[in-house]
Amino acid sequence: MGNKKPVTEGKGANNIMKVIIVGCGRAGSLLATELMEVGHEVAIIDRNPLAFDKLSGEFQGNMLVGTGIDEEVLVNAGIREAEVVFSLAKGDNTNIMVGQIAKFLFKVPRVMVRIVDPRMRRFYEEEIGLSCYCQTEISVNFYKNFLTGGSQPCI
Amino acid sequence: MYIIIVGAGQVGYYLTKTLLDEGYEVTLVDWNYDRVQLLEQELGEVVIYASGSSITGLEKAGCSRADVIVAVTGDDEDNLVISQLGKRYFQVPKAIARINNPKNENIFNELGIGTTISGTTSIVDAIEGYVAKKKISTLLTFDHNEMALVELELPEEAPVVNRRISEIALPYECLIALILRGRDVLFAKGDTLLQANDLIIAISTQSGRENLREVLLGKTGEGQ
């Protein structure tokens, strides 16, 4: 963080992506800020306008008040051109619906949704084909690793 | 026949009571503890306290042996997940989901979420049918909302009045099924002569609806 120069290493200098983030909570706001800082084009959606206070003062991306399950809000956020959608809203079900709208209706190439319930994560990944991130499973692995004295946790 | 209803609001409550009266085995699932306690006093162990949009909660309700699952919560994202889990995880043969926001109808249909019921759309249709007689009202939708049974009344100035059905260039995706004339029910045939004030019941695709309206009522049917 703090580095305002666009990242130019890696897959090429022009690796700027259009990203939509649904949910401006702790994770969403931090992700939005950091992606913007390395030069990506970020739009962030939240139901509560006060949620955008969590963004860094320098955030220049698009902020949209509304729910991510509303097609109109997603279109205004630029989902037709988006390359990546992250759905990090509070409820699993909201993320599941946003993920399916983005992936199957708008054919966004890369969609990642947060699902807190591990069994739901498995079902939606294996049966429905969503890419999911389950913080519960990841935290538990981290704790188990700590317990067994693992020196390098998963992050 | 075992039916699971998720969402113990007014719709879920009355639906449960009606289905119990008709002799079905029913379980009503809700995650609002106070609501469950209240309804338990009246309905007994038919009501269970569980999250109907989680695998664990639906297991508790015995979802794997259910014949029908009905999602009638007030949140469309929950109704989507409930029907999806029912159909795809528990292999329930029939899933029915309520859609609260009519904007979500398209999404539910695209994602193949079983049969959907939109109270809002029905009410809007009823109002429009009442306010403007020159409109088509939807009586029923089926085949994932693709097909509709529609009704419309022929005003005196309709271009098809005094014409036979065989003389009317109906859109390909529409079929006139019945004509209600006063107390008479006429099965539509090619030589049936349409009259003013006939109530026409037709089957149409959703996309063919407007064409049908135009053919039967003329292009100036709306907004005049």
The model's pLDDT over B160-199, given as tens digits with 9 standing for 90+, comes to: 999 999 999 888 889 999 999 988 999 999 999 999 999 9
Out of A91, A93, A123, closest to residue B89 by CB: A123
What's the gap in Å between the CA of A100 and the closest CA on chain B? Answer: 8
Pairing of strands A84-87, B2-6: unpaired
The count of other CB atoms within 10 Å of the CB of residue A137 is: 16
Element (H, E) at A63: strand A62-65
Give percent of chain B above pLDDT 90. 54
Q: Does B141 touch chain A (CB under 8 A)?
A: no
Residue of A nearest to B78 (CA): A93
Chain A contacts in chain B segment 72-101 (CB below 8 A): 75-78, 80-81, 84-85, 88-89
Give the mean model confidence (pLDDT) for residues A56-63: 89
B81 with A69: Cβ contact below 8 A: no
B107 with A96: Cβ contact below 8 A: no
> CA dihedral defined by A8, A12, A16, A19, rounded to 10 degrees?
-110
B77 with A72: Cβ contact below 8 A: no
Band of residue B223 on the pLDDT scale cut at 50, 70, 90: very low
ipTM for the complex shown:
0.83
How many CB contacts within 8 angstroms connect chain A with chain B? 52
Which residues in chain A have their CB less than 8 angstroms from residue B80's CB? Answer: 93, 96-97, 100
- Which of B146, B148, B141, B137 shows the shortest CA–CA distance to B199? B137
Q: Is the pLDDT of residue B50 over 80?
A: yes
B107 with A97: Cβ contact below 8 A: yes
CA separation for the pair A112, A131 (Å, rounded): 5
Q: Is the pLDDT of residue A1 over 70?
A: no
A92 with B84: Cβ contact below 8 A: no
Out of B54, B77, B111, closest to residue A120 by CB: B54
CA separation for the pair B24, B161 (Å, rounded): 47
Which residues in chain B have their CB less than 8 angstroms from residue A94's CB? Answer: 77
Q: Is the pLDDT of residue A16 over 80?
A: yes
The pLDDT value recorded for residue B16 is 93
- Residue in the block written with tokens 């390359």: A83
CA separation for the pair A24, B204 (Å, rounded): 44
Element (H, E) at B17: helix B10-21
Give the length of chain B. 224
Which residues in chain B have their CB less than 8 angstroms from residue A72's CB? Answer: 103
The pLDDT value recorded for residue B103 is 87
Band of residue B126 on the pLDDT scale cut at 50, 70, 90: low
Q: In this predicted model, what pLDDT tens digit does every residue of B15-44 receive, in sequence order?
A: 999 999 989 999 999 999 999 999 999 999
Out of B77, B85, B104, closest to residue A94 by CB: B77
- Residue in the block written with tokens 């088509």: B136
Chain B contacts in chain A segment 117-136 (CB below 8 A): 117, 119-120, 123, 127-128
What's the gap in Å between the CA of B183 and the closest CA on chain A? Answer: 45
Question: pTM (2 decimals)?
Answer: 0.72
Q: Is the pLDDT of residue A40 over 80?
A: yes
Least confident of A9-23, A66-80, B122-136, B143-157: B122-136
The pLDDT value recorded for residue B222 is 45
Give the mean model confidence (pLDDT) for residues A114-118: 96
The pLDDT value recorded for residue B112 is 81
CA separation for the pair B18, B21 (Å, rounded): 5
Give the mean model confidence (pLDDT) for residues A13-18: 80
Band of residue B118 on the pLDDT scale cut at 50, 70, 90: confident
CA separation for the pair B213, B209 (Å, rounded): 6
The pLDDT value recorded for residue A13 is 46
Q: Is the pLDDT of residue B131 over 80?
A: no
Least confident of A22-31, A94-103, B169-178: B169-178
What's the gap in Å between the CA of B149 and the closest CA on chain A? Answer: 27
What's the gap in Å between the CA of A128 and the closest CA on chain B? Answer: 9
The pLDDT value recorded for residue A41 is 96
Query: What amino acid occupies position A117?
Result: D
Q: Is the pLDDT of residue A80 over 60?
A: yes
Q: In this predicted model, what pLDDT tens digit does every residue of B55-88 receive, in sequence order?
A: 999 999 999 999 999 999 999 999 999 999 999 9
Band of residue B214 on the pLDDT scale cut at 50, 70, 90: confident
CA separation for the pair A46, A135 (Å, rounded): 20
